Chain A
């Protein structure tokens, strides 16, 4: 078999002769980005011959080149053909391998949704999808490169596990804990720019969401890159005398319904935060869990509404949609002061006026 890509021993690609420190190529664009998967899988593969990795032309950007450099025989390059890659991974899995295939979330969960359902979940093969750059983290690349529907779409797929690590340490912990899992797994991963939430993989337990801070008032449930933002928001709220319990909901399917309901019952209100539409994501899962448990604590779902994101740099988009610490703290404060008469507070607590103010300040 021909080897598809050749890697330098350190997994780096050709570097141009650049003369200005402001220059960067598409790998250098996210210099320092860490997706964990490349190095962690390379380590795991040293001892586990079942592990193979496939990429669809985003090998360097997602840092899976680290794996390719160390295990060139077990690195499979599929070109820009994500559906084919996922189908091929299913075939590989039937021969005793554990394939990890990587591309952006938009080109896996959304482009290749049927392959995930029909080739992976239906036959229950142990393929792992590393879906990076989830949510709106691709910023001004626009909606084609965003994935704000993947949780909603994939929660409906029977037999699929959906994990949402919030930082590289969490990704590492979850990768290591799931090598032997029988069925398919979708890893919803960020852009590799996440601030560290965990300092050690042992801090994350796969069997329950992680409570990161304790507060007496509001339960703040976050997933993925929103966990770091929620933590920063909680720090702000504490100075205002509002106690927020921040929980990293790292496992979305199967959803930890019981734990979430118990946590909610111990607080006066719940705010869910996700870089995703509020239709069918973490918020919806939470509302359903509370309803099933008969917990009446009011919930507000914070995230994108029934809309595609506008154009902007990622950090500006997070501000615009109230998904930065200031926005989240504002929403939590309003929810805390809100005299909710229904279990679901559905009107936006981050309002069109709030968005307009961000836009005005940026233009």
Chain B
């Protein structure tokens, strides 16, 4: 229990640090994807610091787990994590979006160590992930494949082509996570074009589907553990989807849940307020 608490404290610390690092990227670019980056920060942090088997000094290691950021617009949440883990020098972050940089506002696998596939066009990621899941198994590797999508992204029909394929094929090594932050650019997904109940839709496509609190490292880690247990018990079992209930812009209390903050810029005093709000994260939670 103590160990788990320690782990959770470490992850919370990284969650805060990576949000602050994201603000640094926003300053460089003059624009940031606050909403979709902060909604998935706990998912990214828990994956990269506790779950994914990767080698920062050997990013192309064949036996690694794969991660596909379907919602590529959240890459400025991921870049600081990759730098923190040592995939590339921290100084590279200062080039974010600048002319000739390797780091664009959507990730390029040919330019950035640690990015397993280029993304930016929604709806592609799950298909890519099924190919990776098939590929590692055909190659006799034990790798897991994780695909992170947004809930708005589920509007793309190709997602459901891939969902149908993955369950029929029995890709138990495929873990999809839906960052259900309940907004897309134009408003709330509930009003615009709801795909709820997302978990039941995936279940109907033959997936093992669970809802988790996407801001609880504890719940996320438990769900990853259960995924591994199922995979070990039945290698040809269904793929897993975690529908992570999240809040867009989580951590910056005055923009949380607002579709208007898919992209924007918080300057001066507002930036200071954002920093203060982020530092307060987790402090009210019972440990």
Contacts and interface: CB of A to CB of B under 8 A. Distances in A.
Interface of A: 1-2, 4, 52, 73-74, 76, 78-79, 81, 83-97, 99, 114-115, 118-119, 122-124
Contact of B131 (A73, A92, A123): A92
A322 B83 CA distance: 61
B169 A74 contact: no
B110 interface: yes
Contact of A88 (B120, B128, B139): B128
Interface centre among B108, B120, B130 (most CB of A within 10 A): B130
A90 B128 contact: yes
Contacts of A1: 134, 137, 169-171, 236
Nearest to A118: B121
Contact of B110 (A79, A83, A124): A124
B161 to A, nearest CB: 4
Contacts of B135: 91-97
Contact of B127 (A88, A123, A124): A88
A88 B164 CA distance: 13
A88 B110 CA distance: 18
Given A79-B165, A89-B131, A95 B136 contact: yes
Contacts of A84: 127, 130, 158, 161-162, 165
A343 to B, nearest CB: 39
A147 B110 CA distance: 31
A175 to B, nearest CB: 21
Contact of B124 (A78, A97, A118): A118
B127 A74 contact: no
A91 B165 contact: no
A107 B128 CA distance: 19
A119 B132 contact: no
Interface residues of B, number: 36
A92 B164 contact: no
A89 B162 CA distance: 12
Interface centre among B138, B139, B162, B169 (most CB of A within 10 A): B138
B72 to A, nearest CB: 10
Nearest to B119: A118
Contacts of B170: 1-2
B169 A83 contact: no
A87 B66 CA distance: 15
Contacts of B121: 114, 118
B109 A123 contact: yes
Interface string B120-149: 110010011111111111110100000000
A203 to B, nearest CB: 35
B118 to A, nearest CB: 5
B116 interface: yes
Contacts of A81: 158, 161-162, 164-165
Interface of B: 62, 66, 68, 108-110, 116-118, 120-121, 124, 127-139, 141, 158, 161-162, 164-165, 168-171, 236
Contact of A90 (B131, B136, B138): B131
Given A73-B138, A74-B138, A95 B161 contact: no
Nearest to A99: B131
Contacts of B133: 91
Interface centre among B141, B162, B170 (most CB of A within 10 A): B162
Contacts of A91: 68, 117, 127-135
Interface centre among B134, B136, B137 (most CB of A within 10 A): B134
B175 to A, nearest CB: 14
B4 to A, nearest CB: 33
B165 to A, nearest CB: 6
Contacts of B158: 81, 83-84, 87
A81 B164 CA distance: 10
A81 B158 CA distance: 8
B138 A4 contact: no
Contact of B168 (A4, A83, A122): A4
A119 B120 CA distance: 10
A88 B162 contact: yes
Nearest to B121: A118
A84 B169 CA distance: 14
Contacts of A86: 127
Nearest to B170: A2
Contact of A95 (B118, B120, B138, B165): B138
Given A87-B128, A114-B121, A123 B110 contact: yes
A187 to B, nearest CB: 20
Contacts of A92: 131-132, 134-135, 138
* 9 shortest interchain CB distances as A-B pairs: A91-B131, A95-B135, A87-B127, A81-B161, A88-B131, A84-B161, A91-B132, A92-B131, A91-B128
A158 B110 CA distance: 15
A87 B236 CA distance: 22
Interface centre among A88, A89, A122 (most CB of B within 10 A): A88
Contact of B236 (A2, A52, A118): A2
Interface centre among B118, B128, B170 (most CB of A within 10 A): B128
B169 A4 contact: yes
A73 B135 CA distance: 11
Contacts of B168: 2, 4
26 contacts: A1-B134, A1-B236, A2-B236, A52-B138, A79-B161, A81-B158, A83-B158, A84-B127, A84-B162, A87-B124, A87-B162, A88-B165, A89-B131, A90-B131, A91-B134, A92-B132, A95-B62, A95-B136, A96-B139, A97-B135, A114-B121, A118-B120, A119-B128, A123-B108, A123-B109, A123-B117
